[in-house]
Structure 1
Amino acid sequence: MVATPARFGAGGQWAERAARPLRLTAGPGARPTPDEIDAMRAALLQRDEPGAALARALLTDRTVTQAQVRAALADPGAPAPKPMDEFLDTVRVRPSWVDDALLDRGAEVCRTFGVDATLVLTYGSLLGGYRTAAALEPLVRTGRLTGDETARRIAETTGWWRAVTAPGGLRPGAEGHRLTLHVRVMHAMVNHRLEADPSWDHAGRGVPINQYDQASTLGVFSTSFLLHLRLLGVRVSRADGAAVMHLWSYVGALMGVADRWLPHTERSGRRLLYQLLAHDPPPDANSTALARALIDSGVPERRERALSIATWLLGPAALRDLGLPPRPPWHALSRVAANLPATHVSGRLPGGRRRLLARAERQLRHYQAADPRDLA
């Protein structure tokens, strides 16, 4: 029997405190069963096997080239080398639960969030993900840490998010579909290199890019994303929330996340994210370095706005964990004041969705020419 990586449960009381808000939102029965704990332990040792096979073909066997990967992702129906074709076979037949109407609704809902989506992605999802050291070492090993790399990572993440949520973005061959599979291939290549690196701490960390951490990352883009939007005063109805979760569950499937770890509903997503965070290790030097790089990456006058938003979304304790100074939520409350009448009143009247989409497009045009680091 393979030993559980030492990082599992290393957070102790810190992790339970950090995860407590999620436990409260998940409702009764949030704590994991013994079988669920065993599954989490095992997930730290499980990789994306189809992605791993393609990475071997790219990096070890040299039977596939990067150019062939790019061509195949741009046109999934075109002839491709056998390893690439076998990889694409895993996504050519969609899971039976995928519903195109729900995908379209989930994408449209996401587009109505405008600048608030960018704020939540940056200072909720990305920054919040740094609070635990669980999945940061691969990021640090690739050099995506400070300086211009921070801005590039923000731009890449928001660009991918917009492609995924564009109309028809997850249809085969569409930009969102292509970029999602591209990210999956890149993850597989990073994992392949790190697994072969003698300096990788397998006993402490498990597989570099594993199912546990992929499930957690998917959770911050879906479950906590919706929770944070509501904290900014955005109305997300139960039906809209269900559509968003459906969208991101399909994104997870395309990324190679096993169905066992997909957050099909908000309730199950909150429960799962709570269980994962409650067994995560505490922050480390990587956490604070990445957090400071993110907060300091914009122009100086934007830093206070970013800290205000982050304090409101993540809480003062999270910012202290990350070595950042908490701030009064003045900027966050200004977003709440703007969103309450727009989404809870105007958005519920006839034509409300159309008005919210137009509002989001105006915000996007206003910010599109700006440096993505300055969106706070």
Structure 2
Amino acid sequence: MSIPTDYRSGLAAATPIDPVMAERYVRHMTIGDPAADALVAEFQRHPAAQQREWMRRGIEEGPAALADAPDAVRAFFADIEQVPDWFDPKAAGLGCRAFHRHSEMFLGAFVGAVLIEGFSTRISKSFSITGRLVDQGVRRLKQNNLHLVEIFMPGGLDRRGEGWRLSVRIRLIHARVRHLLSNSDEWDLEAWGTPLSSAHIAYATAAFSGLLLQRAAMLGVALTAEERASFMMIWRYSGWLMGVDPELLFADQEEALRIHRIGTLCEPPPDLESILLANGLINSAPIVAGIADPKARKALTKRIYTISRALIGDALADRLRYPKSHRLSGMGALALLRWTNRMERLLYGLVPALGRRRRAGQFQRMLEVSFHDPAGISYRMPEKLHAEKDAPL
């Protein structure tokens, strides 16, 4: 096995704990997404307008609309038409309802913890080099929120659902960025492995699912076992659509947390890019929320830092150079959120009309912090390595 140099010490640390997963994770650091990579390689032989048209037809209409497309393009879209036998659309309803019942807490845990923890890995290199999170941070954060929202809409992962379309689009954008980085002098293949590797896509999907449930629970979100299983199935299918390799595609929360735990051990410590991305995300959050007043924005940023530190722990927060804060203030903030959630559950159980009004308000705010393009989903592929030289995606 070819081991990227930045991962050798992490592999040595993780192997005594879980040798199978450690070997699997590091091996996938040198693997991309063969099917999507083949499609992107074929795309490069054709004009950009033709690429967009094939991508649009493939996502919106399916392989039957691609009679004039190359074999690699038709094969890719034919493969993703096959719904895995473990995905049950009816059972997905439980997870959808659970997400929307607690959408504010899930989005808070997503932005304040899970995204931060994801970008503490070497995946930060890809976003830092391209600038697609640094220069376009607010837009990208809203796009991340939108994907999370859409896969948990009822029917969002149906073949014509927006969650299905966005998941496939993300996969193809990743493949295109992987192609650009692999052909750039700025990417150190020997040290970092493959850009946007199979391991990193699996790690992100495991974090956005199993770890998100764990972090949301720290904020007071209480789900039944059936709701958690449904939540994980929804993310598992979205991960499958995004190209997560079967070797690293979890079946339940326990497996997702295992991938995340061993992947974290294999990853090198956060570097400057991770520090910039993590702090940039937190400072972007008040802007995404539409807060214009500088004092209010500063106060919310401080609160997010406090809660985020309590969620991710002092060790990682210090490595990411968070502002110092008293541990008790973070624990107190979490305790207050948990108490508030418990009281709201009791109140809304007694007065269901208030619960319906609360959920309607949450839904509206959720839409406000997500990016919606009036023109619909864009099928334009990145053309330049650096975001500042390219049109927004």
Measured against the shorter chain, the TM-score band is 0.7 to 0.9
Distance, in Å, in 1 between the alignment partners of 2:336 and 2:350 is: 26
Counterpart residue number, 2:168: 181
Distance, in Å, in 2 between the alignment partners of 1:355 and 1:325 is: 38
Task: Say whether the 8 Å CA contact 1:10–1:282 is kept in structure 2.
Answer: no
Deviates more, 1:39-48 or 1:330-339: 330-339
Task: Say whether the 8 Å CA contact 1:131–1:321 is kept in structure 2.
Answer: no
Alpha-carbon shift at residue 346 of structure 1 (Å): 5.9
Counterpart residue number, 1:217: 204
Instruction: Label 1:309 to 1:48 Cα distance change in 2 as closer, same or farther (>3 A).
Output: same
Question: C-alpha offsets along residues 72-102 of structure 1, whole Å, 9 cap, x if unaligned?
Answer: 2122255122333211112111122222222
Counterpart residue number, 1:339: 341
Q: TM-score, normalised by structure 1?
A: 0.85
Counterpart residue number, 1:4: 3
Alpha-carbon shift at residue 56 of structure 1 (Å): 0.6
What letter is aligned with 2:27? A
Distance, in Å, in 1 between the alignment partners of 2:38 and 2:47 is: 12
Distance, in Å, in 2 between the alignment partners of 1:48 and 1:351 is: 50
Instruction: Label 1:205 to 1:356 Cα distance change in 2 as closer, same or farther (>3 A).
Output: farther
2:303 to 290, 302, 305: 305
Distance, in Å, in 2 between the alignment partners of 1:60 and 1:316 is: 49
User: Which aligned pairs between 1:235-314 and structure 2 lie closer than 5 A?
Assistant: 235-297=222-284, 298=286, 299-314=297-312
Question: C-alpha offsets along residues 110-136 of structure 1, whole Å, 9 cap, x if unaligned?
Answer: 22212111111111111122223x211
What letter is aligned with 1:6? T
Task: Say whether the 8 Å CA contact 1:114–1:359 is kept in structure 2.
Answer: no
Distance, in Å, in 2 between the alignment partners of 1:357 and 1:177 is: 27
What letter is aligned with 1:113? H
Which SS does the other structure have where 2:30 is aligned?
A: coil
Are 1:206 and 2:193 an aligned pair?
Answer: yes
Deviates more, 1:222-231 or 1:237-246: 237-246
Counterpart residue number, 2:118: 129
Question: C-alpha offsets along residues 241-279 of structure 1, whole Å, 9 cap, x if unaligned?
Answer: 111111111111101111221121112222221111111
Task: Say whether the 8 Å CA contact 2:100–2:363 is kept in structure 1.
Answer: no
Are 1:103 and 2:92 an aligned pair?
Answer: yes
Distance, in Å, in 2 between the alignment partners of 1:367 and 1:74 is: 25
Task: Say whether the 8 Å CA contact 2:142–2:369 is kept in structure 1.
Answer: no
Task: Say whether the 8 Å CA contact 2:250–2:256 is kept in structure 1.
Answer: yes
Question: C-alpha offsets along residues 327-368 of structure 1, whole Å, 9 cap, x if unaligned?
Answer: 32244333222112334x467x6998x976653332232565
Alpha-carbon shift at residue 61 of structure 1 (Å): 5.3
Counterpart residue number, 1:359: 358
Task: Say whether the 8 Å CA contact 1:102–1:247 is kept in structure 2.
Answer: no
Counterpart residue number, 1:146: 134
What letter is aligned with 1:192? H
Is there any run of 5+ residues in structure 2 with no aligned partner, and where? 287-296, 372-393
2:322 to 324, 345, 348: 324
Alpha-carbon shift at residue 194 of structure 1 (Å): 1.3
Question: C-alpha offsets along residues 306-340 of structure 1, whole Å, 9 cap, x if unaligned?
Answer: 11220121112221111112432244333222112
Distance, in Å, in 1 between the alignment partners of 2:161 and 2:370 is: 26
Which SS does the other structure have where 1:287 is aligned?
A: helix
Question: C-alpha offsets along residues 4-44 of structure 1, whole Å, 9 cap, x if unaligned?
Answer: 1112244589x87xxxxxxxxxxxx99313x3332222211
Task: Say whether the 8 Å CA contact 1:130–1:322 is kept in structure 2.
Answer: no
Distance, in Å, in 2 between the alignment partners of 1:142 and 1:367 is: 28
Alpha-carbon shift at residue 152 of structure 1 (Å): 0.9
Counterpart residue number, 2:31: 46
Distance, in Å, in 1 between the alignment partners of 2:173 and 2:83 is: 21
Which SS does the other structure have where 2:5 is aligned?
A: coil
Deviates more, 1:275-284 or 1:262-271: 262-271
Q: Give the share of equivalent positions with the same residue, in percent.
A: 22
Counterpart residue number, 1:21: none
What letter is aligned with 1:103? A
Counterpart residue number, 2:62: 76
User: Which aligned pairs between 1:360-375 and structure 2 lie closer than 5 A?
Assistant: 360-366=359-365, 368-369=367-368
Deviates more, 1:185-194 or 1:78-87: 78-87
Alpha-carbon shift at residue 233 of structure 1 (Å): 0.9
Distance, in Å, in 2 between the alignment partners of 1:268 and 1:358 is: 36
Distance, in Å, in 2 between the alignment partners of 1:289 and 1:159 is: 23
Which SS does the other structure have where 1:171 is aligned?
A: coil
1:159 to 127, 130, 146: 146
Instruction: Label 1:358 to 1:266 Cα distance change in 2 as closer, same or farther (>3 A).
Output: farther
Deviates more, 1:179-188 or 1:99-108: 99-108
Is there any run of 5+ residues in structure 1 with no aligned partner, and where? 17-28
What letter is aligned with 1:342? E
Deviates more, 1:164-173 or 1:53-62: 53-62
Instruction: Label 1:326 to 1:339 Cα distance change in 2 as closer, same or farther (>3 A).
Output: farther
Task: Say whether the 8 Å CA contact 2:207–2:256 is kept in structure 1.
Answer: no
Deviates more, 1:322-331 or 1:200-209: 322-331
Instruction: Label 1:242 to 1:9 Cα distance change in 2 as closer, same or farther (>3 A).
Output: farther
Deviates more, 1:123-132 or 1:356-365: 356-365
Task: Say whether the 8 Å CA contact 2:202–2:249 is kept in structure 1.
Answer: yes
Question: C-alpha offsets along residues 118-172 of structure 1, whole Å, 9 cap, x if unaligned?
Answer: 111111111122223x21111112212435x111111000011111111100011
Are 1:232 and 2:219 an aligned pair?
Answer: yes
Counterpart residue number, 2:74: 85
Task: Say whether the 8 Å CA contact 1:136–1:286 is kept in structure 2.
Answer: yes
Which SS does the other structure have where 1:69 is aligned?
A: helix
Distance, in Å, in 1 between the alignment partners of 2:219 and 2:142 is: 22
In the comparison of the two structures, how many residue pairs are matched?
352
What RMSD in Å do the two structures reach over aligned CA positions? Answer: 2.7
What letter is aligned with 1:340? R
Instruction: Label 1:356 to 1:167 Cα distance change in 2 as closer, same or farther (>3 A).
Output: farther
